Amino acid sequence: MGNLGKICVLLTALSVGAAGGAYAFYKKAYQKPRAEIAQQKAQLGAYIETCKKNAENFDRTAANYASTYALSMPTNRQSASVEYQIWLDQMLEFCNLTEPLTKAGRYVSNRATQTATQEFSVQAQASTADLTQFLFEFYWTPFLHRITALDLKPIESSDLLDVRMTIETMTVGYKERRDPTAATNETEKATAETLAKFANYPKTDKLPLETTPTRVLASGPLAAYEPFAEAQFFRAVRAGIDSADHARLTGTPEVSDEKGRVNRFSRWRVETEDRTITLKEGDRMQIGSVDAEVVKIEADIVVLRQDDDRLWVVLHGGKLSEAVAVPANLY
Listed by start position, the domains of the chain span: 25-60, 70-235, 243-326
Could you tell me which residue, 212 or 143, shows the higher pLDDT? 143
Asked which of 43-52, 73-82, 125-134, 292-301 is least confident by mean pLDDT, the reply is: 43-52
Asked which of 13-22, 59-68, 174-183, 190-199 is least confident by mean pLDDT, the reply is: 13-22
Contact (CB, 8 A) for 213 and 142 = yes
Asked which of 48-57, 93-102, 124-133, 198-207 is least confident by mean pLDDT, the reply is: 198-207
What does DSSP assign to residue 30? Answer: I
pTM score, whole prediction? 0.49
Highest mean pLDDT among 2-6, 86-90, 325-329: 86-90
Asked which of 35-49, 221-235, 247-261, 282-296 is least confident by mean pLDDT, the reply is: 221-235
- For residue 296, the surrounding DSSP H or E stretch is strand 290-297
> Mean pLDDT throughout 63-78?
74
161: β partners: 126, 154
pLDDT exceeds 50 at position 213: no
Asked which of 68-82, 128-142, 288-302 is least confident by mean pLDDT, the reply is: 68-82
Could you tell me which residue, 186 or 152, shows the higher pLDDT? 152
Tell me, rounded to whole angstroms, the distance of Cα 226 from its chain centroid: 21
pLDDT exceeds 60 at position 229: yes
Q: What percent of the chain has pLDDT over 70?
A: 61
Could you tell me which residue, 239 or 181, shows the higher pLDDT? 181
206: exposed, middle or buried (Cβ count in 10 Å: 0-12, 13-18, 19+): exposed
**Mean pLDDT, rounded, of the chain:** 75
Q: How confident is the model at residue 214 (pLDDT cuts 50, 70, 90)?
A: very low
210: exposed, middle or buried (Cβ count in 10 Å: 0-12, 13-18, 19+): exposed
- The angle formed by the CA atoms of residues 187, 74 and 216, to the nearest 5 degrees, is 110
Q: What percent of the chain has pLDDT over 90?
A: 19
42: β partners: none
End-to-end Cα separation, the chain, in angstroms:
151
Q: How confident is the model at residue 238 (pLDDT cuts 50, 70, 90)?
A: very low
Fold of the 70-235 domain: Alpha-Beta Plaits (3.30.70)
Asked which of 55-64, 156-165, 290-299 is least confident by mean pLDDT, the reply is: 55-64
b/e burial code for range 174-189 (CB count within 10 A of at least 16 → b): beeebeeeeeeeeeeb
pLDDT tens for each residue of 244-286 = 888 899 988 888 777 777 888 999 999 888 889 999 999 999 8
Measured CA to CA, the distance from residue 33 to residue 26 in angstroms comes to 10
pLDDT exceeds 90 at position 2: no
> Mean pLDDT throughout 129-136?
89
> Mean pLDDT throughout 211-237?
56
Q: What is the pLDDT of residue 73?
A: 84
pLDDT exceeds 80 at position 6: no
Measured CA to CA, the distance from residue 271 to residue 193 in angstroms comes to 76
pLDDT exceeds 70 at position 135: yes
